Amino acid sequence: MGQLDGKVAIVTGGGGGIGRAVAQALAREGAKVVVNGRTASNVEETVKLIKSAKGEAIGVAGDVSEQGVAERIVKAAVDRWGAVDVLVNNAAIGGPVAPLGKEDVAEWWKTQQINILGPFLMTRAAVAAMRKRPHSAGGAPRGKVIDVSSGAGRGWAGDLLPYRVSK
């Protein structure tokens, strides 16, 4: 038995890298995992890896910074398993790599949308679902929101200014 048996987790940015590793680790601990990422084929690969290890997972592709995607991801979790217990906000992009003043402003802003607006929208949608769960003895809703961050936000990150600002 795993520490997360019966829990439902959502992992954004789960199509590869850290997000894929987190999704697989949650599944190994018994969580049912909703894997999200912008690229459907990457999301499906993570789902396949989890299922091949005898875990439970579904994939929901989409950009978490776009209106309605967060609600669609949470709805998929609730429709399939009845709840959301854990949200891991991992989705992020590095954005344009350019010296200050040379970057593309639209690309810079898209980085902020994915890295800042995305976690906000996901948290808002997931917490709404978490509040519907039975409360703990103290009355607080059950559930956990985990925001993946980066050391790039604490110091010089060269020409990765949009990433640094958002993390």
CA distances from 125 to 9, 43, 51 (A): 13, 20, 26
Question: What's the rounded Cα separation, in Å, for the pair 129 and 117?
Answer: 19
Q: What spatial distance separates the first Cα and last Cα of the chain, rounded to whole Å?
A: 35
112 close to 36: Cβ distance less than 8 angstroms: no
Structure tokens at 90: 């991992």
- Which residue among 57, 125, 129, 163 is the active-site one? 163
What are the phi and psi torsion angles at 137 (to 5°)? -55, -35
The question of whether 54 is a catalytic residue gets the answer: no
Distance CA 141, CA 111 (A): 31
Distance (Å, rounded) from C-alpha 28 to C-alpha 53? 8
Tokens coding 121: 């929208």
Q: Catalytic site residues?
A: 163
